[in-house]
Amino acid sequence: MNNVNGSGKTWRSDRLSQLGSSIFAEVSEWKRAASANGMDIIDLGIGSPDKPPSESVRKALSEAVLRTDMYAYPSIKSGMPFKEKAAAWMYHRFGVTVDPANEMVTILGSQDGLAHLALAICDPGDIVLLPNPGYPIYAASLALAGVQAHYMPLRSENNFLPDLEAISQDIWQKAKFILLNYPNNPLSAVADLSFFERLLEKARKHDVLVVHDLAYCEMGFDGYKPPSILQVAGASEQVVEFHSLSKSFNMAGCRIGFMAGNREAVGALRELKANIDYGAFDPIQEAGIVALQEAMNETDCTNIGTLYERRRDTFIAALRREGWEVEAPKATMFVWAKLPTICWDSTIIWTSRTISREMLKATGVVVIPGEAFGTEGEGYVRIALVEEEDRLLEAAERIGRFIRGEHVIN
């Protein structure tokens, strides 16, 4: 599209078109249309927690906001209190020792760190190993940096782990880093320490940095506590791990997290970010300190996982009653559901996209087509457990009527 002067210039870079799937925009449009038709929308599409942070976190934030010494550029201060607390929490939660001064950088949410990592540690033309399906910013960050993705399919027959042996020696030799995320969004798959050990062995052999996105470490179910890859002995030489307070402490809007691990990579990201933003707003760092301290004070395991475990149990049981046999996740706030069989309309080719679209039109329930996360996501939809149990039950009933075609018959 040309500008009004017809000069041929456009004020939208080609780069923007590489930022990821247009399906998310499409889903928003379906949702807007259904809402305009008077449909009651149950939005299980978004990956944003529906609860607020604890009261003490909100108090800490509001008290800090009233202080007069909180308004300088945050980077002028050391930012050490937040990083020291984060390091203490890493030790408490995982038994991992991180040097907060040299092995940790504070970020404006993992999204910020993930978006900028390739720019900080890669050069154009480098190769990076990415999961397919994968969280959208992974591929987008490579596009921004002119870095080439080599995709690793994550398939159910392999428990949604990459087949490390299927990656050629040549690719291993060339790759700058490998990016993984367990517990996984959108797959809700988990990885144990023995997988991480095998991964690190490969990575060391070929000197590939392992980048692990651990956004869902506090959302394990049935007593399962997702591990940090930094628990593997000597891992910090070869690894950086992203941590986010968004999902663990319902602080998504606060924009704070940290990356911990290899000094050189930490230093590179810090250097890039020093030129882009000047750090996280100090009151948010104060609130983050309280959230992490509170997590360390917990004596039982009444963390955020308990809430999502109950929702999972309610929702999965309800969907099964409606005839949709979905697998129960061990972690995260997502259900990765194989498409149900739809028999009532043979004129439609049922893909993750058409099922999501027709289901939203008929029921008002929003889910994300698996295809939005990569080609390997076809055949699935992602359902986020971000509503109260009564709404999840209502959603399951409506979905059941849709699968059986009752909305058409009546």
Ligand X SMILES: *Cc1c(COP(=O)(O)O)cnc(C)c1O
Nearest 5°: the CA angle 139, 349, 410 is 120
**Count of positions on this chain that bind ligand X (CB under 6 A):** 14
For residue 363, state whether it binds ligand X (rule: CB under 6 A).
no
Q: How many Cβ atoms sit within 10 Å of the Cβ of residue 383? A: 27
Is the CB of residue 233 less than 8 Å from the CB of residue 239? no
For residue 248, state whether it binds ligand X (rule: CB under 6 A).
no
Is the CB of residue 74 less than 8 Å from the CB of residue 285? yes
As given in the structure block, the two tokens for residue 201 are: 């062995």
For residue 21, state whether it binds ligand X (rule: CB under 6 A).
no
* Residue span binding ligand X (CB under 6 A) among the ranges 35-43, 92-100, 108-116, 164-172: 108-116
Q: List all residues 6 or more positions away from 126 whose beta carbon is below 8 Å from its beta carbon.
A: 118, 147, 148, 174, 176
For residue 135, state whether it binds ligand X (rule: CB under 6 A).
yes
* Residue span binding ligand X (CB under 6 A) among the ranges 190-198, 239-247, 270-278, 279-287: 239-247
* Residue span binding ligand X (CB under 6 A) among the ranges 242-250, 347-355, 358-366, 367-375: 242-250
**257-261 sheet: strands from edge to edge:** 104-107, 257-261, 239-244, 209-213, 175-180, 127-132, 148-153
* Residue span binding ligand X (CB under 6 A) among the ranges 71-79, 192-200, 245-253, 292-300: 245-253
As given in the structure block, the two tokens for residue 255 are: 């924009």
For residue 262, state whether it binds ligand X (rule: CB under 6 A).
no
Instruction: Give the SS3 label for residue 329.
Output: coil
* 46 vs 171 by CB, closer to ligand X: 46
For residue 244, state whether it binds ligand X (rule: CB under 6 A).
yes
Q: Binding ligand X by CB under 6 A: which of 43, 103, 213, 371?
A: 213
Interaction residues for ligand X, span 190-209 (CB under 6 A): none
In angstroms, give the least distance from the CB of 35 to ligand X: 24
For residue 285, state whether it binds ligand X (rule: CB under 6 A).
no
Interaction residues for ligand X, span 158-187 (CB under 6 A): 181, 185
Pairing of strands 368-369, 380-384: antiparallel
- For CA atoms 115, 52, 59, 248, give the dihedral sign: negative
* Residue span binding ligand X (CB under 6 A) among the ranges 15-23, 27-35, 103-111, 307-315: 103-111
Interaction residues for ligand X, span 22-81 (CB under 6 A): 47
* 44 vs 318 by CB, closer to ligand X: 44
Cis peptide before 81 (omega within 30 of 0): no
In angstroms, give the least distance from the CB of 184 to ligand X: 7
Residue 268 φ/ψ, nearest 5 degrees: -65, -45
DSSP 40-70: --EE----S-SSPPPHHHHHHHHHHHHSGGG
Q: How many Cβ atoms sit within 10 Å of the Cβ of residue 193? A: 12
Q: Binding ligand X by CB under 6 A: which of 109, 136, 329, 400?
A: 109
Please report which helix (H) or strand (E) contains residue 105, including its range.
strand 104-107
* 217 vs 403 by CB, closer to ligand X: 217
In angstroms, give the least distance from the CB of 366 to ligand X: 17
For residue 236, state whether it binds ligand X (rule: CB under 6 A).
no
Contact residues toward ligand X (CB under 6 A) are 47, 109-111, 135, 181, 185, 213, 215, 244, 246-247, 252, 257
